[in-house]
Amino acid sequence: MRRTASAWTMEAMALNRADRLRAAVQRDGPTCIWCGRGFSGLVAPTTEHVVPRLKGGPSWLENEVAACRRCNSERGHRGPVEWLEECLGRGWRPDGQRLERSLARLAEAIGREGGQRRARPYLDAQLRRLRRRAAGPALISASRPAQSSAPRAPALGPTADRSSRAVGSVVDVVHAGRRVVGRLEQVWVYPVKSLAGTPVATVEIGPAGPRGDRAHSVVAADSGEPVRAKHSPVLATLVPTGDLPADERAIGAALGRPVRLQPASGGSAADVAAVHLVSRQAIDRAAAGEVPEGCSADDPRANLLLSLPDGDDERAWVGRLVSVGEVVLEVTRTPKHCLGVYANVRSGGVVAVGDPVLL
């Protein structure tokens, strides 16, 4: 029996993420919305937000479709129509009709449920763009292969020339001399220097680094001397709440002496560079005993955790520019005592989990 839109909404209220993914596959069929591959043991479905969370898209079943892990990861937070055009340009078989149904279904749900002020204008713009393109010859059916003349949506410039090949689990995309070498797996912000960090889905990065990172330092209440985890390891186990008086009391209780949280001059108390990057592969190698000379295998407390192809090493990037999401970073050096690399910000913007990493 075919369910109505309101029935799907009522069901979604009681479903967890895994159940919603199963419902999306049941509703739309067992294929990836972006590349058209059928789901199997080797091509597993993942939950894809049609309107990205970064743009205010809700975690409702109406805003969720099934996509393979590769497409979900490479899309990042690009708009759905832009990514649809990109998929066509790669010769894949995106299901534009499913995308239009999903956008229309979300618009109807927002009309019923209300709210979602951030998502509404973005959703309306995507629907208009998609429907304008639907009048063209190249867009929508997933039942026929995309033609080589299908339009492309260049990610870095209007004259980009692309080719692609698989490298392990990462698609290596040559793009005007640059290539996608991985993806952003995790984003961490450390609101108080030396204290534990907080994982976030997305963050704005400016000249001083991620917004809110190392915004405060712990100092002794009487002398104002800095208090560091190097000498007080318990600090690294404490997670700040954002309530400064409460955090000061909790830190003081853990240390057995009163402290203050001092705002950082210039917005960040980072010692060496604005951004610290490390790859999952470097952490795995260190856990297996392969640690660069002079480095520790301990948690490097990096801001950006990257997933790279096996064998790649971010320490070879020193002196190069790396793009993550909207941000361009200049890799300046390797740390003396921890894993990863340090980078300064050449061009700020927003990064989000799943963004591609380009060299």
Q: What angle do CA 125, 129, 135 make, to 5 degrees?
A: 150
Q: Is there a single domain that holds both residue 54 and residue 113?
A: yes
Same domain, yes or no, for 197 and 342?
yes
Q: Which domain holds residue 280?
A: 157-214+270-359
Q: What pLDDT score does 149 carry?
A: 33
* pLDDT at res. 145: 36
Closest CA to 344 of 334, 326, 329, 359: 329
Report the pLDDT value the prediction gives residue 85, as an integer from 0 to 100: 86
Q: Is the domain of 19 the same as that of 103? A: yes
Same domain membership, residue 47 and residue 161: no
Could you give the number of structural domains in the chain?
Answer: 3
In a shared domain, residues 120 and 11: yes
Q: Last residue of a domain, which of 127, 153, 179?
A: 153
> Residue 351: which CATH number?
2.40.33.20
In this predicted structure, what is the pLDDT of residue 342?
A: 96
Cα 262 from Cα 281, distance rounded (Å): 35
- Which of 127, 16, 128 minimizes the C-alpha distance to 64? 16
Residues 281 and 204 in one domain: yes
Same domain, 256 and 130: no
167 and 28, same structural domain?
A: no
Non-local (6+) Cβ contacts of 54 within 8 A are 77, 201, 202, 350, 352
Of 104, 125, 153, the domain-final residue: 153
Per-residue pLDDT of the chain (359 residues; tens, 9 = 90+): 334 444 444 444 456 888 889 999 999 999 999 999 888 877 889 999 999 988 888 989 999 999 998 899 888 888 898 899 888 877 788 998 899 999 999 988 888 888 888 888 888 888 888 877 665 433 333 333 333 333 333 333 333 333 333 333 333 343 445 788 999 999 999 999 989 888 899 999 999 999 999 999 999 999 999 998 888 989 988 989 989 999 999 999 999 999 999 998 877 878 788 999 999 999 888 888 888 877 777 778 899 999 998 788 999 999 999 999 999 999 999 998 889 999 999 999 999 999 999 98
Q: Are residues 172 and 244 in the same domain?
A: no
Whether the CB-CB separation of 326 and 351 falls below 8 Å is answered with yes
Whether 148 and 209 map to the same domain: the answer is no
pLDDT for res 174: 39
Cα–Cα nearest to 121, from 131, 112, 129, 113: 129
The answer on 136 and 69 residing in a single domain is yes
pLDDT at 131: 78
The pLDDT score that the predictor gives to residue 151 is 33
Distance CA 310, CA 312 (A): 6
- Domain limit, last residue, from 234, 263, 292: 263
Are residues 174 and 207 both part of a single domain? yes
